[in-house]
Structure formats: C-alpha cells, structure tokens
Structure 1
Amino acid sequence: MSTQDRDAPGLMREIISDLQEGVDDPNFKWGSMRAAEKISNLYFLLNGSLPDDEETNSFKRKVSDLLRKGGNPSGLTILIGDCYRYAERGRLDGFHQACLLRSKLQVLQDEFVDLEEVVHEPDRGEIAEIDELLEEVSDDAPPVPEKDIPNWLPDSHWWWRAPKQQDMSHEERMRRILYDENDWMG
C-alpha cells in the first residue's frame, strides 16, 4: 500500500502496532525499524509536521513509551548501525541511504524520544559519530539530486546538502554509486 493510499490515523495505528509487537516479543527487533519507516511516511503525508492536538500528543507519548521497551531499543540500535555503515560508504554508494536513515533517526529524536536514553550503552554517542562521518565524507560524496531529497525535511537535516561537490557530473556520480558493480569489471 502506498503512502498516498493511507490516512494519518491509520498509519499511526500501524506504527503503534509495530512497536507493540516489539514489546510483546523481546526478540522481535524489527518493530521499531518498521515504525521508523512508517513515521517517515507519516511525515511525508503531513508535509513534515504532526498536528498539535490531543490525539497526536497521545500518539507521541505512546510511541515514546513503546520505543523504550522489549526488542524496540535493539531495533533502534540496528537502525543506527545501518546508518553508520552507509555513512562509512558515503564517498561511494552509501551517502543517499545514510541520509535517509539519519533523517528517520532525527525525526524520532525530535518528536518522540531521546535516542541516547533508549539505545544500549555501547551505542550511545553513535549518532554524533554518524554526523562527524557524514561531514568527513562530504568532501568527496556524490551529491543527492535535489529531486531525491524529501520535500518535507526541515533545514536542520543538513546532511542532505553536505556534499561539497554539488556540481559533480551525472557520470561521475553514477561511477561512484555503482563502484562495486564497476570494480569487478576492471
């Protein structure tokens, strides 16, 4: 089902359901990851802001509570780890995906829960490391085309426009993005 086919209340119910599944089964780590994806879809649907009403505030409190329980913190840790791995590949094929994941994490941070309080101890501080890494690779990262940057993102999501070589040719950009495929061919 596409985002356009969903209504905000229905998407909010799906998010709660995904997170509840992570609470009910502590070994289920995908609930928070699916919820993060759906929260991004919700933001797209609502043009980047949740209404300030009692229903939405109740939803935000419930999401915040559920993110802290069961397998949900582990799912967030996986999401953060995935973002870090993509950021490490930022000079090649990872920058765009790192930006997508970093924005999902930022929305969770801004609207629902302090991620540093939720993730497991060894992973605290990793978001700051991701930001440093995105800044570091931006000197040579292939830029994300403007049409591919979600229009609902606030300016605080600086990483999308961080690549220094915004005038990189399409051919060079594709050479970097398809590096693994091209590398084996010599």
Structure 2
Amino acid sequence: MGFYIGEGGEELDLGARAKQLGSAIDDFGRAAEIAAASDADDMVQLRDRAFADGMSELFSICLGGAEVRSATGWSDFRNRVITLIGASGWALTNYIDDTLDSALHSALEEWDSWEIACRFRSAVQFLLDEFGGSELLISPDYEKQMLAEADAKLRAQASLVSPQPGERPPAGIPDSHWWWFLPSSQTQ
C-alpha cells in the first residue's frame, strides 16, 4: 500500500483509496447488471439500492479533492463510472428524486436528516461537476427541475435546523456546495 502526502500535508492511503474506487465501480456495475436484467419493481429497487451505494462511495471519494482527481487511475475510474451510470437505466433519475425527498424531510430530525439531504445533494453535484453528469441525465429538464426543487426546499428548511456544537460539514466539502453551510449562516 502506498502513501501520498496531499497538498495540506495529510497522508493519503492510496491502497485504501483504490479499494474505495473499486467498491464504487462494483456498486455501479451491480446497478447496471440489474438494469439490463429486468424492469420488474423488485429489481428496480435492487438496482436503485446498488446505485445509491455507488453514489455514497462517490461522495466519499470526491471529498478527497484535487489530490484524488489528479491521482493515477482517476481518468479510467471516471470513464468507467460514466459508462456504468449510463447503463443503469433510470437509476440516476430515481436518485435525484430521492435527493428531493430527502430535502423535503431535511429538518425533521435536526442535523441527522439535514446531513443526509446534504450528502444526497452533494453526491449529485459531484457527479455533475466531475463526471459530466449533465450528459448522463435521461430527462434533463425533469431532473434539473427536481434539483431546483430540492435546492429551494433546502433553503426553506435551513432555518429549522440548528447544528449542535461540533457538527460541521465533512472535511473536503467545497464552498460551492452551499447547502451544507445554510444552517450555520441562518443562526449567526
């Protein structure tokens, strides 16, 4: 296992990162295989769960910032993810719909539900920014409308969320992912 010293002096375990990249590929691959096999409701749920697992891995991977995106193998990983997402049928659309649902419920249980909504929204934004996600959208107008509704709901819900001391966005969240910073900006 190799280590790499990142821009901030932190030590990155490239072996662990490679495992995480592989896990994301496996999850997206499983979603694509299920999509190719059947459109039955139970199979759609399995596909969407595998896809959501891949998006969760993608979220964690992208938190690594420029160091990860400039690492050897990133281009191959990116291309493989794009191919598998394209082969996953409506899984991305359903994930964006889940993003809207999580935004609608984002203030129900304080920070925990807010964090879930923000993770969903950031995973989609990472996909759009880093993986040419706009080209992956099956129904771009519909999906962009769902994202706009999710954003509006996050803005409306922010005043209802009060992060506890020490609750912060995960390290590596870009400033452009404004939804993470709304609750603290509303309470200042």
Regarding TM over 0.5, the answer is yes
Q: Could you tell me which residue of structure 1 aligns to residue 31 of structure 2?
A: 22
Q: Distance between the aligned counterparts of 1:145 and 1:95, measured in 2?
A: 15
Alpha-carbon deviation of 1:146? 5.0
Q: Which runs of 5+ in 2 are unaligned?
A: 1-12, 36-42
Cα deviation code 1:77-127 (max 9, x no counterpart): 332222212211234323222112111111111111325742446444211
Alpha-carbon deviation of 1:5? 11
Alpha-carbon deviation of 1:22? 1.7
Structure with the higher fraction of residues in helix conformation: 2
Q: Which runs of 5+ in 1 are unaligned?
A: 168-186
Q: Distance between the aligned counterparts of 2:66 and 2:33, measured in 1?
A: 30
Q: TM-score, normalised by structure 1?
A: 0.72
Amino acid at match of 1:104: A
Please state if 1:35 is matched with 2:54. Answer: yes
CA contact (8 A) 2:159 2:187 kept: no
CA contact (8 A) 2:100 2:150 kept: yes
CA contact (8 A) 1:60 1:112 kept: yes
Please state if 1:61 is matched with 2:61. Answer: no
CA contact (8 A) 1:15 1:39 kept: yes
Identify the match of residue 169 of structure 2 among 115, 129, 149: 149
Specify whether residues 6 and 54 from structure 1 end up closer, same or farther in structure 2 by C-alpha distance, changes over 3 A only.
closer
CA contact (8 A) 1:135 1:159 kept: yes
Cα deviation code 1:54-74 (max 9, x no counterpart): 5211111111121111xx343
Q: TM-score, normalised by structure 2?
A: 0.71
Q: Distance between the aligned counterparts of 1:77 and 1:135, measured in 2?
A: 22
Percent identity reads: 23
Structure 1 runs of 4+ off > 6 angstroms? none
- The count of corresponding residues between Structure 1 and Structure 2 is 161
